[in-house]
Structure 1
Amino acid sequence: MEFIVYLAGEIHSNWRDQIKQEVSSKQLPFHFVGPMENHDLSDSIGENILGKQPNSIIKDDMASGINNFRTSVLMNKADIVIALFGKEYKQWNTAMDASTAISLNKPLIIIRPEQLHHPLKELSNKANVTVENVEQALAVLSYLVE
């Protein structure tokens, strides 16, 4: 049996690659999907498809609609969601994706450093598992298929 895992979280570091490489090296039965990692494409997809928009607010709204469509389709197909809250970047999209996973009853693993414990306490309380690093999330995935 292969599981589909939606990897929610910031797109500026290589945390997804770390998970994918480790899963591949252990030959674990997981396939990964997630948000658009090409930031420029994500921001311009509305105009790419629908044409030039009259201002930046409408441009953002058009792109958001298409990105939300993509997220909805992929998250609905996912068996598991992993949401990474890192130290560096604002985490609005991660919080939205984690909340969506909870509302869809998707099993959710939150990765967050200890210093984000307090601001994420309610979200962590609703998740199935909260860990502090990618290695711990990988251990949870490994345990699932042992």
Structure 2
Amino acid sequence: MSFQVYLSGEIHTDWRDEIRRGVEAAGLDVVLTSPVTDHDASDAAGDHLGEEREGFWRDHRSSKVNAIRTRTLIAASDLVVVRFGDKYKQWNAAFDAGYCAALGKPYVTLHSEEIVHPLKEVDAEAMAWARTTDQVVKILEHVLRES
């Protein structure tokens, strides 16, 4: 069974690569997708539409262009993994989790125990809370198990 997994959230560590390596090592038939993870490219997603003098409007326009990718890939996915890092507030990741909940799309959160409390509502809708990328791979192995 082939599975589409969207990897949402934090862009400052290599957690996506860890999951990719784990999926490959386990021989899983999984296609991993994600948002644009180059911060500058994401911020500039709408710049080709014209110059903006105010930061708010530049961010607003770029967020809408980025949302085309995000919404399309989330809708096409079988599962979404939403990573929350400890260093930055990932409001976009929280939004993606809420979007998944609204769509009835299963998602797994990935974060440390230190931020359980602020994420209690997000975790309450998740199918699982993982602390490590290895745990995410184990979830995928179980879901894709033939028998």
TM-score, normalised via structure 1 length = 0.94
Mapped pair 1:135 → 2:97:
no
Counterpart of 2:32 in structure 1 is 32
Counterpart of 1:65 in structure 2 is 64
Counterpart of 2:10 in structure 1 is 10
Q: Give the whole-Å Cα distance in 2 for the aligned partners of 1:25 and 1:132.
A: 20
Structure 1 spans left out of the alignment, 5+ residues: none
Q: What is the one-letter code of the residue matched to 1:78?
A: S
Deviation of 1:76 (Å): 0.6
Identity %: 37
Counterpart of 1:23 in structure 2 is 23
What is the DSSP-based 3-state SS (H/G/I as helix, E as strand, rest coil) of the residue aligned with 2:62?
helix
Counterpart of 2:77 in structure 1 is 78
Q: Give the whole-Å Cα distance in 1 for the aligned partners of 2:45 and 2:52.
A: 11
Counterpart of 1:52 in structure 2 is 51
CA deviation vs aligned residue, 1:90-110 (integer Å, no higher than 9, x gap): 111111111111111111111
CA deviation vs aligned residue, 1:83-127 (integer Å, no higher than 9, x gap): 011111211111111111111111111112111111111211111
Q: Give the whole-Å Cα distance in 2 for the aligned partners of 1:140 and 1:34.
A: 18
Structure 2 spans left out of the alignment, 5+ residues: none
Q: What is the one-letter code of the residue matched to 2:69?
A: R
Note the aligned Cα RMSD (angstroms).
Answer: 1.1
Judge conservation of contact 2:22–2:134 (CA < 8 Å) in 1: no
Deviation of 1:55 (Å): 2.0
Q: What is the one-letter code of the residue matched to 2:129?
A: T
Between Structure 1 and Structure 2, how many residues are aligned?
Answer: 145
Q: Give the whole-Å Cα distance in 2 for the aligned partners of 1:28 and 1:14.
A: 20
What is the DSSP-based 3-state SS (H/G/I as helix, E as strand, rest coil) of the residue aligned with 1:95?
helix
Deviation of 1:14 (Å): 0.3
Deviation of 1:38 (Å): 1.1
Counterpart of 2:96 in structure 1 is 97
Judge conservation of contact 2:113–2:131 (CA < 8 Å) in 1: yes
User: Which portions of structure 1, spanning 4 or more consecutive aligned residues, are displaced by more than 3 angstroms?
Assistant: none
Deviation of 1:54 (Å): 2.8
